Amino acid sequence: MICIVLPVLNEASNIVPLLERIHGAVESMRYVVCLIDDGSVDNTVGLAVDAALRLGAPLHVIQRVKRHAGSQRGTALVAGLKWALDNTDASVIIEMDGDLSHRPEELPLGVEPVMVGAYDVVIGSKYVRGAAVINRPVVRRVVSLLCNFVVRRLITDRIHDYSNGYRFYSRHAAEAIRGTKIRYGSPIYLTEALSIWLARNLRITEFPTTYIGRGEGESKLRIVDLLKAAIAVFEISLRLHVRGFDAAHVEPQAEIAAAKERSIV
């Protein structure tokens, strides 16, 4: 079984075709989609539920109350990971964007190496031979390349793409994340998670993906965010190479109770 974790926020225009394309790509497999919504106000959840019922596609919805400014992609992904571990027998857990920037048609490419036990983690990479980036502003491409260059120097150059959230991993890899104290709820979690897997010597590989830019304007880039990310990467590098990673602590019940959940189909 596979579990696809989808963090979303106001994706009404994308969620239906996304679920349709996911279903078309993996309907021959046993699968479930775990949708983590951080307070959409455009009926993203309602449209997703309707689509799942029409397709006969298993869907679990986690609706959270957003408590912090900025993207909380990291906390959403961890919530989906924990749900998959606790409520399914999935041997492969997948993370992908809810805005169609990741192509569902590539799902089998990432699932197979983990399913057969060849790798613990597979990354859809924008920066390996054969990959393509479409409809992304030049400034965003340059910033992404520079950031990945810096992260590779600080973490390891064995991995080419630290920022793409199209990832496939085993239950063993998921348990490694659940058992570790996570410091970052923002998208920098993607680097933190990879560093945890590297620290545990898990087998990681990448495959070339086609990344499709979706409304990433230069105006969304803020120097302060880049500086915060740089500091975070230095801190993660220090833990990876020097201090080590701390074990996870028990979550407060208030945080657990903050989410509403329901399963569809």
Local confidence pLDDT in tens for the 265 residues of the chain: 999 999 999 999 999 999 999 999 999 999 999 999 999 999 999 999 999 999 999 999 999 976 665 668 899 999 999 999 999 999 999 999 999 999 999 999 999 999 999 999 999 999 999 999 999 989 889 988 999 999 999 999 999 999 999 999 999 999 999 999 999 998 899 999 999 999 999 999 999 999 998 765 444 556 777 888 899 999 999 999 999 999 998 664 444 445 688 888 6
As separate numbers, helices (DSSP H) first and strands (DSSP E) second, the chain gives: 9, 10
Would you state the pLDDT for residue 222?
67
Would you state the pLDDT for residue 253?
43
Whose structure tokens read 């064995």? 158
Would you state the pLDDT for residue 69?
58
Would you state the pLDDT for residue 216?
53
Assigned architecture for domain 2-264: Alpha-Beta Complex (3.90)
Would you state the pLDDT for residue 14?
96
Would you state the pLDDT for residue 262?
82
Supply the DSSP string of 89-142, one letter for each residue.
--SEEEE--SSS-S-GGGHHHHHHHHHTTS-SEEEEESSSTT-EEES--HHHHH
